[in-house]
Chains A and B, each alone.
Chain A
Amino acid sequence: KAGVTQTPRYLIKTRGQQVTLSCSPISGHRSVSWYQQTPGQGLQFLFEYFSETQRNKGNFPGRFSGRQFSNSRSEMNVSTLELGDSALYLCASSWTGGAGDTEAFFGQGTRLTVV
């Protein structure tokens, strides 16, 4: 069974540019969550999509956005990149997103470096 796939694995961007990251969840999973991981702040929740709708949102500025497609694949976009956006971006998928689902399966992440 294929796991959560994130592409690309590594990215280098310049300040002011925008970037799009992709996440393919485990087959059949309908919920996709995104997290930012930095050495100083640890893992922080960005947002969650379920059935193509944003269902939960963290405390990040509007430069961070996302979407989910009908096949549950998800993308997140960061516009006007800042040096502080350098981080490992992780996505996690789960089955139905309901109260009975306790495990979110994480991908290996996309390492974004902003120079």
Chain B
Amino acid sequence: QKEVEQDPGPLSVPEGAIVSLNCTYSNSAFQYFMWYRQYSRKGPELLMYTYSSGNKEDGRFTAQVDKSSKYISLFIRDSQPSDSATYLCAIPTNTGFQKLVFGTGTRLLVSP
């Protein structure tokens, strides 16, 4: 079983839709949960991260963690064509955040 599982998509939505991206993980000891965005031919960039359970909001983006079910989500409100990218969940497996375990990524396409 992979440590982090993510539906690869692609996920196609119209502009303005609410997008839900999800990952599951296997190790209940994980404490930090991160979301990266990767545009084509670019390296991943950190969108946001959360610690333990709960929600964190940043503009149109909300990250949610449910540790009881080992489920993490990223919601995008009012999606824009510029949000079209691959979204990767990532979990640091060391205290320094340098050793990340990634989901395979979900490709999101937002059409105008």
Contacts and interface: CB of A to CB of B under 8 A. Distances in A.
Contacts, number: 68
B41 A108 contact: yes
Of B32, B49, B94, B97, the most chain A CB neighbours within 10 A belong to: B97
Interface residues of B, number: 23
How many interface residues does chain A have, given as a range? 20 to 34
B98 A55 contact: yes
Contact of B96 (A31, A35, A43, A109): A31
A33 B103 contact: no
Contacts of B95: 99
Contacts of B41: 108
Contacts of B44: 43, 90, 106
Contacts of A105: 45
B99 A56 contact: yes
B53 interface: no
B43 interface: yes
A107 B96 contact: no
A94 B98 contact: yes
Nearest to A49: B98
Given A94-B97, A94-B98, 12 more contacts: A33-B98, A33-B100, A42-B103, A43-B100, A43-B102, A45-B100, A56-B99, A90-B43, A92-B43, A97-B98, A102-B97, A103-B97
Interface of A: 4, 31, 33, 35, 41-45, 48, 50, 55-56, 58, 90, 92, 94, 97-99, 101-109
